[in-house]
A and B are shown apart, each in its own frame.
Chain A
């Protein structure tokens, strides 16, 4: 055993060495620093030495509470109705400099819901981060299945012996080769609210019936626009992974299936899909992790706006750590993101484990 460890592993360590060094130097070490910084008030530019602040950064980031308020009543005790709905005191009057609730100072309304006469406000200390969390999860939940499914469809399409199939493979893969920053810049023109390609196209197809939409400038369409463009950009990459998976499936299985008289669906259901099991796990985990890292599109196309509709976790981490020179705040967000991605990956691995 000893000789095996020394001899066989020497080559192994030599091969792994460079990547271990690079990963340690550029990923592990900075990440350990991030964990350390998240417990201090470290700044990017400052003559002040960093101080240990405990969990203050995490509290600032994640503090959420609820506040239930009763509608305003007039002198006779009847509920004041304004614009057809009961009037509630403004959140601002309850949170700012409220001597009864000093703990609410600095908190803002995230969202609210009504039940009966009263209304419950969910307050967050960092509303922008909460919105970034929600947006990122929406992005992941839409992109992971849609992109994975589309990529599989494309892979099945191009996994055929047809004349000139390589042309199609190239076309579908092309967006992956182009830098995401360039793609984002191009799509900004496509989504332009005035004379963008998409608006012109929709206008022409509908003979002008579809009004022009400012895709990136409208809070209700901005995130959707970025999701669509992101799916298009990276679908080719996952198509190639699916394709490699498809080509590992033995042709004899398909032959056997054909002899047995299996329909197309049966072939897919009982030969292709089981053969793609491991590929599916890989694609799902890779898409999920990539989707959580959404940054370049946001930075180039919207900057998180309008009205925080496209804020994301990584964008916030960069914006704070670098833009606002708050390394400790950015580090805290990075650590939170790490915990989220790690937990989800572990859950995915557990759900897709080999059941023997």
Chain B
């Protein structure tokens, strides 16, 4: 007992001695409060970094994901941001434009191998970098494909629109599942633009005209977008999918056999693999302009207010090691950002159960519009898609969404484009 106390006192003394050196404290905000696994992983990275050198000491402050963005905006308005920020990829341009973030100065060669979606580039400069990416796939079972007599689509030869609609029609007619398609309508918020705008982009439209980022006219209400809207509405009017979905059905419906196909992310893949032994992850269908899925997940960057950007960059560079990328992937099922990290993981290594997501991310991934206006555009798009699903007039809805996005861009003097 006394020995133990003595040891503890010694340990305390040495730790005290360690911190007493001229270490500069860096604060970091992270969105993972409430997720124990994630907390433990980020805690390990920070502990390793703090132990690896004597110049910097990173201190973590965690927020629940749902309150994270609000906390950063409130912190910025109060002039109180940390040194290191965690930022959702599509939000980064907004924060960079608003002056919350500064360019991230790290060795470019270190991120050469990173998946394109993990690099947060705005105005030609790198602002943030992600340790992982996320990807969405059309989840189904091999037995379902066989029973319906469907071709298994591949990355090189995804389903065409007609093949996809044929698959839905056959699934509905077979009666094996309650609904042919689970789109995840219960997941409101960013899921809508993340998961559904790639359909629009595959039709040839977009949320905003990416050549100028100054208007949505023609992109969100052009012929391609109208075709997307009519198709989207038909999914619900033809009874393939539910416009309003029970959240419990989203989380467990496919695994319970309620849906034949599920449009879901890699984070849910392990659950499906546990439920069925013949789950397959199919690439997005090609609606005419190539198959597309959303890219970019949470990333790390340096706040504009940081007095020590070199320290913050040093931490971020430290965190980019393959072993951490692999640890996050193993811990919470995310796609590691590099092929070499993927090789270290159980599921994403070549031949692994989820390796297909790595390929999906690199081949089909398309980042959401890289503009500070995306934050508003995402909300407008979400409402338009939900309204159309609920039966609103397609042309009028997309026109109204276009007008709202254009008015917002105008109100912000073009968002610096």
**A contacts, CB < 8 Å to B:** 41, 43-48, 60, 90-92, 96, 106, 108-109, 127, 192-195, 214, 216-217, 219, 303, 305-308, 319, 322-326
The complex places the Cα of A44 from the Cα of B392 at a distance, in Å, of: 30
Q: DSSP majority for the A interface?
A: loop
Task: Give B372-398 interface residues, CB cut-off 8 Å to A.
Answer: 375-376, 379-380, 383, 386-387, 390-392, 395-396
The complex places the Cα of A194 from the Cα of B248 at a distance, in Å, of: 10
The complex places the Cα of A106 from the Cα of B405 at a distance, in Å, of: 12
Residues of B within 8 A of A193 (CB): 244, 246
Task: Give B263-278 interface residues, CB cut-off 8 Å to A.
Answer: none
Selected contact of A192 from candidates B73, B246, B383, B390, CB within 8 Å: B246
Number of chain B residues whose Cβ lies closer than 8 Å to a Cβ of chain A: 36
Residues of A within 8 A of B396 (CB): 91-92, 108-109
The complex places the Cα of A43 from the Cα of B375 at a distance, in Å, of: 13
Does B64 sit within 8 A of A, measured CB to CB? no
The complex places the Cα of A216 from the Cα of B390 at a distance, in Å, of: 12
Work out how many contacts link A and B, with CB atoms closer than 8 A.
Answer: 73
Task: Give B69-85 interface residues, CB cut-off 8 Å to A.
Answer: 70, 73, 76-77
Whether A324 and B376, one on each chain, are in contact in the complex, defined by CB atoms closer than 8 angstroms, is yes
Whether B94 and A219, one on each chain, are in contact in the complex, defined by CB atoms closer than 8 angstroms, is no
A342 to chain B, nearest CB (A): 28
Whether B386 and A325, one on each chain, are in contact in the complex, defined by CB atoms closer than 8 angstroms, is no
Q: DSSP majority for the B interface?
A: helix
- Flag B86-103 by CB within 8 Å of A: 1 or 0 each: 000000001101111000
Known: A90-B395, A194-B249, A307-B387. 12 other contacts (CB 8 A): A45-B73, A48-B413, A108-B399, A127-B400, A214-B244, A217-B243, A303-B188, A305-B383, A305-B387, A306-B390, A324-B375, A326-B408
When A and B form their complex, which 7 residue pairs have the shortest distance between CB atoms, in order from nearest? A217-B244, A306-B390, A45-B98, A324-B376, A307-B390, A106-B403, A194-B246
The complex places the Cα of A326 from the Cα of B407 at a distance, in Å, of: 11
**B contacts, CB < 8 Å to A:** 70, 73, 76-77, 94-95, 97-100, 188, 243-244, 246, 249, 375-376, 379-380, 383, 386-387, 390-392, 395-396, 399-400, 403, 407-408, 411-413, 416
Selected contact of B412 from candidates A43, A127, A214, A305, CB within 8 Å: A43
Whether A92 and B399, one on each chain, are in contact in the complex, defined by CB atoms closer than 8 angstroms, is yes
The complex places the Cα of A116 from the Cα of B71 at a distance, in Å, of: 57
Residues of A within 8 A of B386 (CB): 305-306
Selected contact of B379 from candidates A90, A92, A194, A323, CB within 8 Å: A323
Name the CB-closest residue of A to B395. Answer: A92
Name the CB-closest residue of A to B373. Answer: A325
Whether B411 and A41, one on each chain, are in contact in the complex, defined by CB atoms closer than 8 angstroms, is yes
Name the CB-closest residue of A to B98. Answer: A45
The complex places the Cα of A324 from the Cα of B383 at a distance, in Å, of: 12
Provided the pairs A46-B412, A325-B376 are in contact, do residues A306 and B249 lie with their beta carbons within 8 angstroms?
A: no
